[in-house]
Structure 1
């Protein structure tokens, strides 16, 4: 369904005219909320990473993985706004780009540190047509010097984490697990040890 500033005002028990004193449009309000939530999830991941020793790659990975899930479960609506179904008619402006990169940049720094420390991804990059060119573009775009194997492993692991969180948050595993958190931790361990080559 379409989302209007009037509907938002009603949910907040405010007059719609009062909302327009703060925001010119629904899209401006959405942008502010999206940026705030990107910053909040990035703060959580950065804080978790900062608590670990820089050379303890495995602990850093687990801390980041757990912080993602913890934040999502505490803020399901906020998570849904930035990772759920797009709001019809809303196109995110450039203002959201840098905030949207922050939480991923923590992962990229971890991958760079793992690679520098001699960790090697335990996968081979499939000989898919154009994949080398694609990862060359990723390295250039993100200013990275990681090998293709580490890029593929890291991005696949990151996607798996968000997939597991979304499945849990949106009720897709309610009848599957008694405690989804146990499965999530096992998944994070597996990804860290097998996919990223961490010990």
Structure 2
């Protein structure tokens, strides 16, 4: 009885994965807005009613694809950071940035699902949050560890955030690892670098650099070094 249930669960997991894989391929041709459970069912040679037993709606399928995408991106960033020298905070930042760009270029349609235009009529549920913050957590950890190590030297002439932003800085600080004394200006410089990273990757992936930036990897490296300098990263042993 138990073995039989286990076999059924295994078959269900394999079919669920196959449906999700076909849907990911459909993203490349139809986009997220054109995702169709009926089309997936036709390609699998299944009745639509059978596919609905695995994914009751298009939104359920989209949620699975979004969670899978965030987890894949987060894992890529986590592995990149884990392979970097712990005390080289600028190096860790650059490595994590390249991990985001490399993953996006290798999975452009999944990246577009995560960071492109919202899908009409779809509202991401709370289920996506844990996966969505995996990459953000890595960047927050790099900044937090650098701050605790005394390896952040604020750049000269940096603009101080206005007092009205203090509550927002507190919200960001609350999700960073143990940095209650991190100043608001460091928080907002870190936030600026994070948004600059995804802005660059989105510009490259969605064609805004066409006919302007040719050596894109070198330009990306240079730009991310500039953002690292904005945060003020130094090596811990040179602080």
TM-score using structure 2 length: 0.76
Q: Which has the larger radius of gyration?
A: 2
Give the CA RMSD over aligned residues. 2.0
Match in the other structure for 1:147: 183
Partner of residue 181 from structure 1, selected from 202, 217, 235? 217
Q: CA distance change for structure 1 residues 13 and 169 in 2, over 3 Å: closer, same or farther?
A: farther
How far is the alpha carbon of 1:103 from its aligned partner?
Answer: 0.7
**For 1:188, what is the secondary structure of its paired residue?**
helix
Unaligned runs of 5+ in 2: 1-31, 235-239
Mapped to 1, the partners of 2:154 and 2:45 lie a distance apart of 53
Mapped to 2, the partners of 1:171 and 1:61 lie a distance apart of 25
Q: CA distance change for structure 1 residues 28 and 130 in 2, over 3 Å: closer, same or farther?
A: same
How far is the alpha carbon of 1:190 from its aligned partner?
Answer: 1.1
Mapped to 2, the partners of 1:8 and 1:87 lie a distance apart of 18
Match in the other structure for 1:168: 204
Q: CA distance change for structure 1 residues 198 and 138 in 2, over 3 Å: closer, same or farther?
A: closer
Match in the other structure for 1:80: 112
Mapped to 2, the partners of 1:176 and 1:164 lie a distance apart of 13
CA contact (8 A) 2:74 2:135 kept: yes
Mapped to 2, the partners of 1:150 and 1:135 lie a distance apart of 9
TM-score using structure 1 length: 0.90
Unaligned runs of 5+ in 1: none
Q: CA distance change for structure 1 residues 20 and 184 in 2, over 3 Å: closer, same or farther?
A: same
CA contact (8 A) 2:80 2:99 kept: yes
Match in the other structure for 2:165: 131
Structural mapping, 1:64-143, within 5 Å? 64-118=96-150, 119-122=152-155, 123-127=158-162, 130-140=164-174, 142=176
Deviations 1:62-90 (A, max 9, x none): 10011010000000000000100111000
How far is the alpha carbon of 1:125 from its aligned partner?
Answer: 2.0
Partner of residue 23 from structure 1, selected from 33, 36, 55? 55
Deviations 1:155-186 (A, max 9, x none): 10010010000000001111101121111111
Q: CA distance change for structure 1 residues 86 and 7 in 2, over 3 Å: closer, same or farther?
A: farther
**For 1:52, what is the secondary structure of its paired residue?**
coil
Match in the other structure for 1:196: 231
Deviations 1:81-135 (A, max 9, x none): 01001110001111001111111000010010110111133233232x5111221
